[in-house]
Structure 1
Amino acid sequence: MSYTIKTLNKIAKTGLDKFGEGYTIADDAANPDGILLRSASMHEMEFPESLLSIARAGAGVNNIPTDKCAEKGIVVFNTPGANANAVKELAITSMLISSRKIVDGINWANGLTQDVAKEVEKGKAQFVGPEIEGKVLGVIGLGAIGVLIANAAVNLGMEVLGYDPFISVDAAWGLSRAVKKATDLKTIFEKADYITLHIPYNAQTKGTLNAEAFAQMKKGVRVINLSRGELVNDDDILAAIEAGTVGGYVTDFPNEKMINKPGVITIPHLGASTPESEDNCAHMAAMQTKVYLETGNIRNSVNFPNCEMPLSGVQRITVAHKNIPNMVGQISTALADAQINIKDMINKSRGDYAYTILDLESVSSEESIAKIKAIEGVLRVRVI
């Protein structure tokens, strides 16, 4: 079996090399089986019938119409954790540069033209700032990135409060015992000297930090946003900086309102901009795509459930479908009517969508596959 992969951005070669023989990779493929991308927008794209999967080499998928893809049975992957260390290091950097006025100091020093050593000694006092040791860090969102930051901050001598009502078992296992649980955002706002955001952006999280939130915070709090610009209300944080409530804001998402503002440090979206991170993301995106195309197994999808089963039997059928009653029964009946036994099966659901893998003891007939495709709510059927 051969597959075609389309790339919409430059993807690290170390990742693309994982596809190996049987794969054609091109940025102009007309009818790809899979697409790999980073930040390219797909919202205006028309998807060919051949397209089975889309893999984002990164965590955020705002540039991909995930619901539209789900309706077409196209599985969308992301790469959670692949860039976690890169973002962790930038978050620690952000805390330091927001405290010590390092950026302002560098810019000032670069403007000196004569008697530099003397002027440095005279002027350095204006850039005094606090150390982070012994201070309280509030981490909002304890996924792969949030956990690494919380643990690193503990090792730097900070007191860490973590808030995440949806923390996964894996994340909880990796979290230092020294990290204290905050039961609500109010606790973070009232106690933290530094606040760092590591939550996804959606309708519910838009403007998580706004005027109401800033009103509850400690005076002089430093805010770090390396997740999504829209998580923080621009006008409200600028007002909070002017009022002295926020002592510094570091954002990885510059815009016209944020640049050249006192108290704001804008970083040009460098959270995952390390060669190690780009390699990790590309490798993970490629392997998830390869496994899905060759086995139908799903891991780290954002619009379908994770669903994996070892290959067995003579043939595998996968069915992407709506999460509605009696779907599995109807699929099984279509196979039973054709005298085809199911050797193994797994069904998983996620929200409005579900996914079923069936390993068969004999090869299915075209008629039985047609019957499954005709079931109301079935989005896509694959024979592997």
Structure 2
Amino acid sequence: MLRREARLRREYLYRKAREEAQRSVQEKKERVKRALEENQLIPTELRREALALQGSLEFDDAGGEGVTSHVDDEYRWAGVEDPKVMITTSRDPSSRLKMFAKELKLVFPGAQRMNRGRHEVGALVRACKANGVTDLLVVHEHRGTPVGLIVSHLPFGPTAYFTLCNVVMRHDIPDLGTMSEAKPHLITHGFSSRLGKRVSDILRYLFPVPKDDSHRVITFANQDDYISFRHHVYKKTDHRNVELTEVGPRFELKLYMIRLGTLEQEATADVEWRWHPYTNTARKRLCAYSRTFLLPLASNQPDWFYLDKLRFLLQFAFGCRDKHHDHERLPPYHSAKSQLLFMTTSGLKTGFHMGGFYTLPNPATSSKCSLASGSGHSFLMLTQRKEFPGF
């Protein structure tokens, strides 16, 4: 039995690897085709293989779903058979975590809840596979507050790891009444990317196909990578109006990892996606931002005490003129980044007046505070150059 499961697992991973390679080639073909149709330059990284890709485009037909195969899809039986969901907790759960697990059991129709006890993860997964469970949900806590949710699809994966926040349970609301356990209608909003569709499939296939007359609605709304879970029931007050009532629970989900394996294969399964601070490759590039402030002084001779008193005012100007630099502070004029420079009035002709200061673009390489003087006038010149993620 173990050898058979290992063989099936290897075959599944091989098919997924083939699909990923085919998807990469298909994306390159689409980029070349788009460049040719729009009469644009072919991307630099594709120019060596552009002729081969263009030749293979002649054999591609329109329609279909690309390289995605329903045979190799983990959710090929979705909609044909109702999912069988098992919910459990981490070891030694608190009373609030037990209550949250009970409420999740009512959210998913036909779900079952199992006390964790001293069972290991491997034993739980093997028992679920033997009993035909399609999804295993594990909730975690920190000092009585639910903070984590793991959704593991059986028998081969994937496994999605979520962070829970802003959890409001039904037990926290008095006199809420009973909750409908009918099969709900689902609303998924904001899952437009390929990763979003992947996460949407993981979440929506936890629910069976509803009936048309069901008055229960569950919403997964993605906003800034935070997935809001809301649970409502509705009733028609007349032929036009509908009354919507929230029945709870409610919480926010934040995805931080997807693995291709099941829960017990955490150490060996490949990571399909992982959150990190620079997930969006377009934001890895930094674009420079530079600006210079020129403040007219009272006399030709610099009064450093006078400049020191004005420094606070200039800090305020630098910190509030731009939304990306709300808390920026300038270096003192005697620091290593400060320099004493002299300019002629011809260098100030490109400046323009803004809020009592004179500003002009300056391609400086760092922030600096310096003095500009010429033709009987002195100016305090402060240049700030800041790199921030591009958009």
Category of TM-score, reference length = shorter chain? under 0.3
Query: Which one has the bigger strand percentage?
Result: 2
User: Relative contact order, CA 8 A, sep 6+: which one is greater?
Assistant: 1
Query: Which one has the bigger helix percentage?
Result: 1
